[in-house]
């Protein structure tokens, strides 16, 4: 059988070791006689699974003690509403939220935030991130939102010392909120420089249906009165993500992914692999003009790589040939067209090499 | 090894056939080379899984064509906010919502609804459901909310012809909203008599993290402006539950449960089994006063059976002996104490018989 490599942008490829273990434990977790899906979320078995997942994620990202890690439901999209609902109450109403607009996901965040606050687009970039010196920040804004990796557009912030490059030019009192859905755990980050980081799980963490929120403790407790209790960060934090029944099986799978990441050497090792995979792939696009990419080089995502055939009449033939070679889910997002290869942590370099071999073959090189 | 029977109130026991199949398909669903967790929610493989699940649930509950079935995130608890946010807009603001208060879950719904509407408790019952003639309904209320099976308190509405008994005494124009989280799919219901039915999956449907909402089409499109888009029923319905990335793996497991239910004979067969299991279990409590139950007989839940030892100093010994016999998760909810046996669809009668044997043994009968 052809080896399958799955380039889906999310839900996305998971480590084979994780899936193998999940299959083996499906009917009987550690001699408990129960599937993880069947366990009460308040029983000792699931509590041990939850605490291990929380501890391992804290270790992987070096999350400081004054930050809570929440395992929520609703996806990244829901956070576009839930973050304003939880954070704008720290300022007099109506508050203003600043945004850096670098693609589809920050665009969705801007649209939704307008239901709860005034919105200021501090800077816009379509093929890269505008330099910090050009950001027009609002004095006393509730926070500054950025999507540090745009899944659809393939624009990733350049980072220095675990924070967006040039961030020293932003006043210390500006509260940073970052949507890291599609590149969390792919590089070291300095959590202490952010007020809140969030990520839908279905790219680099685990199955769809789990959303991770990492939030500084002093930001809890100011939810607007209309915020649903189930999504009030303080209630979720005070109840260790069990104010509501949490998505237990998704948390279990995420925990297995965290264990796998630790065995692989953690996020520093992941970053080295991501650099190697991205260099290999972009080189195939840069070789000549058969393929095209649209993102400026410093902002090329290491995780999501949109590309276009110069002759788009060959798109269907390209995708059919890819599928025949076991290279799956390469079609680009409907809003931007073309192709996209998502090469998350769980994508082995052998998969990228297989894609590069096919890119060269299809280009007749 | 002792046979394990898991009486958890939720997350809860799942059919062994479902878990066995999920384990077998974990690494490669139907020759796709992908786990269901790895599939794009917009790809043909997952779309086929989703459509089958929706179709099977529609068939099992005989859901009319003018009702939408939504697969959402956030759990039953979140619906306590999301239903007012989506439905009160049909009336002038501030609207009033009527409630029948029969236990912990309707109590939580009442508290949360107060954030979005005026609340009227039309009737209260602690050990049963007050007769319809005593309900004090508000003229022109937005809707009437009832929890038709209280998971914690074990109070279940009596049903006639698929609706709460005596419902003919309620004016036709009253919009009924029912929380059926813990007894959905355990008996036939007449969906056409309700405006909205909802259920967290983690009792009779599948894993935690999926919430089912069945809603009449004409109720869509009136969400309050502060309702998060990800939870706007109309947006969810218009996008076939894919406005946001849905909890794909949970939907897949729910779909396998629906297939299993159809093979077992559907909800009519489930009801017969539920009656047999409940009669067997309650008889063990009624034999003498060693055990006590607190719910009036017509309202005894067939799904969740709270019970108490007359001599509560023996509680720990009872639970330890149960565990030694493979009878798990029998401790009652912390808010009411005692014991609770949840005997959902996936609990075989052999499990109830094993519990009854132990109840008799422990009582020295």
DSSP string, B120-147: EEEEE-SSSPPPGGG--PPTT-SEEEEE
**Residue A203 annotated in active site:** yes
Per residue in B121-138, pLDDT tens? 999 999 999 999 999 999
Provide the pLDDT for residue A110.
98
For B35, name the nearest residue in chain A, comparing CA atoms only. Answer: A19
- The DSSP call for residue A126 is S
Q: Does B210 touch chain A (CB under 8 A)?
A: yes
Provide the pLDDT for residue A2.
73
Q: Does B104 touch chain A (CB under 8 A)?
A: no
Residues of chain B within CATH 3.40.640.10 domain(s) are 21-262
Residues in A touching B116 (Cβ below 8 Å) = 226
Which of B21, B74, B228 to probe by mutation at the A interface, max A CB count within 10 Å? B228
**ipTM for the whole complex:** 0.98
Provide the pLDDT for residue A3.
86
Nearest to A14 among B35, B207, B245 (CB): B35
Question: At B3, is the pLDDT very low, low, confident or very high (cuts 50, 70, 90)?
Answer: confident
Note whether B230 contacts A37, CB cutoff 8 Å.
no
Residue B327's beta-bridge partner residues? B5
Please compute the mean of the pLDDT values over residues A254-259 and round it to a whole number.
98
Whether pLDDT at B272 is above 80:
yes
State how far the Cα of B236 lies from the Cα of B214, in Å rounded to an integer.
Answer: 12
Instruction: Provide the shortest C-alpha distance from residue A245 to chain B (in Å).
Output: 7
Residues in B touching A83 (Cβ below 8 Å) = none
Catalytic residue among A56, A68, A98, A105: A105
Task: Please state the three-class secondary structure of B273-322 as a single string.
Answer: HHHHHHHHHHHHHHCCCCEECCCCHHHECCCEEEEEECCHHHHHHHHHHH
Whether pLDDT at B71 is above 60:
yes
Q: Does B37 touch chain A (CB under 8 A)?
A: yes
Please compute the mean of the pLDDT values over residues A343-349 and round it to a whole number.
98
DSSP string, A158-226: -EETTEETTGGGS-TTPPEEEE-TTTTTSS---GGG-SEEEEETTTTTSSTT-EEEEEEGGG-S---TT
Provide the pLDDT for residue A113.
98
- What count of residues does chain A have? 365
Per residue in A118-174, pLDDT tens? 999 999 999 999 999 999 999 999 999 999 999 999 999 999 999 999 998 999 999
Residues in B touching A208 (Cβ below 8 Å) = 37, 41, 245-249
Torsion of CA B169, B172, B173, B177, to 10 degrees: 70
State how far the Cα of A337 lies from the Cα of A106, in Å rounded to an integer.
Answer: 19
Q: Does B18 touch chain A (CB under 8 A)?
A: no
Residues of chain A within CATH 3.40.640.10 domain(s) are 18-262
Provide the pLDDT for residue B135.
97
Across chain B, the runs of DSSP E, i.e. the strands, are 5-6, 67-72, 96-101, 118-124, 143-147, 159-160, 163-164, 176-179, 196-200, 211-216, 291-292, 304-309, 327-328, 339-342
Instruction: Provide the shortest C-alpha distance from residue A77 to chain B (in Å).
Output: 6
- H or E, element range at A5: strand A5-6
Q: Which of A336, A338, A339 is nearest to A327 (CA)?
A: A339
Residues in B touching A244 (Cβ below 8 Å) = 74-75, 77-78
**Residue A105 annotated in active site:** yes
Residues contributing to the annotated binding site of B for L-glutamate: 42
Residues in A touching B250 (Cβ below 8 Å) = 209, 247, 249-250
Residues contributing to the annotated binding site of B: 42, 105, 151, 179, 202, 244-245
Residues of chain A within CATH 3.90.1150.10 domain(s) are 266-362
Q: Does A208 touch chain B (CB under 8 A)?
A: yes
Burial of B289 (0-12, 13-18, 19+ CB in 10 A): exposed
Q: Does A14 touch chain B (CB under 8 A)?
A: yes
Catalytic residue among A56, A98, A153, A179: A179
Please compute the mean of the pLDDT values over residues B197-211 and round it to a whole number.
97
Note whether B26 contacts A23, CB cutoff 8 Å.
yes
Provide the pLDDT for residue A83.
98
Q: Does B81 touch chain A (CB under 8 A)?
A: yes
Whether pLDDT at B198 is above 90:
yes
Nearest to B37 among A14, A24, A200 (CB): A14
Whether pLDDT at B2 is above 90:
no
Residues in B touching A38 (Cβ below 8 Å) = 6, 8, 11-14
Note whether B209 contacts A206, CB cutoff 8 Å.
no
Which of B38, B105, B335 to probe by mutation at the A interface, max A CB count within 10 Å? B38
- What count of residues does chain B have? 365
Please compute the mean of the pLDDT values over residues A254-275 and round it to a whole number.
98
Q: Does A327 touch chain B (CB under 8 A)?
A: no
Per residue in A18-53, pLDDT tens? 999 999 999 999 999 999 999 999 999 999 999 999
The CATH code for residues A266-362 is 3.90.1150.10
State how far the Cα of B38 lies from the Cα of A114, in Å rounded to an integer.
Answer: 33
Place of tokens 């002093």: A218
Residues A196, A188 contacting (CB under 8 angstroms):
no
Q: Is the dihedral of CA B37, A243, A228, B197 positive or negative?
A: positive
Residues in B touching A75 (Cβ below 8 Å) = 73, 230, 244-245
Chain-centroid distance of CA B188 in Å reads 14
Provide the pLDDT for residue A1.
53
Nearest to A22 among B12, B26, B247 (CB): B26
Per residue in B82-121, pLDDT tens? 999 999 999 999 999 999 999 999 999 999 999 999 999 9
Half-sphere exposure of A19 (CA within 13 A, CB side): 21
Note whether B248 contacts A208, CB cutoff 8 Å.
yes
State how far the Cα of B325 lies from the Cα of B335, in Å rounded to an integer.
Answer: 26
For A37, name the nearest residue in chain B, comparing CA atoms only. Answer: B207
Instruction: Provide the shortest C-alpha distance from residue B171 to chain A (in Å).
Output: 31
Note whether B78 contacts A231, CB cutoff 8 Å.
yes
Provide the pLDDT for residue A114.
98
What is the residue-averaged pLDDT of chain A? Answer: 97
Q: Which fold has domain B5-17+265-362?
A: 3.90.1150
State how far the Cα of B343 lies from the Cα of B65, in Å rounded to an integer.
Answer: 31
Per residue in A291-345, pLDDT tens? 999 999 999 999 999 999 999 999 999 999 999 999 999 999 999 999 999 999 9
Instruction: Provide the shortest C-alpha distance from residue A213 to chain B (in Å).
Output: 15
Peptide bond into A94 cis (omega under 30): yes
Residues in B touching A32 (Cβ below 8 Å) = 4
Is A29 annotated as belonging to a binding site? no
Assign domain A18-262 to its CATH architecture: 3-Layer(aba) Sandwich (3.40)
Residues in B touching A200 (Cβ below 8 Å) = 245
Note whether A245 contacts B77, CB cutoff 8 Å.
yes
Question: At B1, is the pLDDT very low, low, confident or very high (cuts 50, 70, 90)?
Answer: low
Question: At A11, is the pLDDT very low, low, confident or very high (cuts 50, 70, 90)?
Answer: very high
Q: Does B261 touch chain A (CB under 8 A)?
A: no
Q: For the domain with range B21-262, which CATH number is right: 3.10.310.10, 3.40.640.10, 3.40.50.300, 3.40.190.10? A: 3.40.640.10
């Amino acid at each position: 059988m052809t080896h399958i490599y799955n380039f889906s942008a999310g839900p996305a490829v998971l480590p084979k070791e994780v899936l193998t273990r999940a299959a083996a434990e499906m009917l009987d977790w550690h001699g408990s006689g129960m599937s993880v899906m069947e366990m009460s979320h308040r029983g000792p078995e699931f509590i041990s699974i939850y605490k291990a997942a929380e501890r391992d994620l804290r270790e992987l990202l070096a999350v400081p003690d004054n930050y809570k890690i929440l395992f929520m439901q609703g996806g990244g999209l829901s956070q576009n509403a839930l973050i304003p609902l939880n954070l704008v109450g720290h300022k007099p109403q109506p508050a203003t939220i600043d945004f850096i607009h670098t693609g589809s996901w920050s665009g969705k965040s801007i649209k939704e935030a307008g239901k709860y606050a005034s919105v200021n687009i501090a800077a816009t970039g379509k093929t890269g991130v505008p330099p910090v010196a050009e950001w027009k920040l609002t004095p006393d804004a509730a926070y500054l939102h950025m999507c540090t990796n745009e899944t659809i557009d393939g624009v990733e912030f350049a980072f220095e010392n675990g924070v967006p490059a040039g961030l020293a030019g932003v006043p210390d009192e500006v509260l940073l909120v970052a949507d890291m859905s599609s590149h969390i755990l792919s590089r070291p980050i300095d959590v202490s420089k952010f007020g809140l980081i969030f990520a839908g799980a279905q790219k680099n963490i685990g199955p769809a249906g789990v959303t991770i929120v990492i939030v500084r403790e002093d930001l809890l407790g100011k939810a607007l009165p209309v915020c649903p209790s189930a999504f009030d960060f303080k209630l979720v934090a005070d109840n260790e993500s069990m104010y509501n029944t949490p998505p237990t099986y998704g948390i279990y799978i995420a925990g297995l992914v965290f264990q796998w990441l630790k065995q692989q050497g953690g996020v520093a090792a992941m970053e080295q692999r991501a650099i190697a995979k991205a260099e290999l792939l972009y080189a195939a696009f840069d070789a000549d003009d058969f393929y095209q990419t649209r993102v400026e080089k410093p902002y090329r995502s290491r995780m999501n790589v949109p590309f276009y055939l110069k002759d788009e009449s060959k798109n269907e033939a390209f995708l059919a040939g890819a599928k025949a070679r076991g290279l799956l889910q390469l079609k680009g997002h409907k809003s931007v067209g073309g192709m996209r290869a998502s090469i998350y942590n769980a994508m082995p370099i052998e998969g990228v090499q297989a894609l590069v071999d096919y890119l060269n073959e299809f280009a007749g090189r």
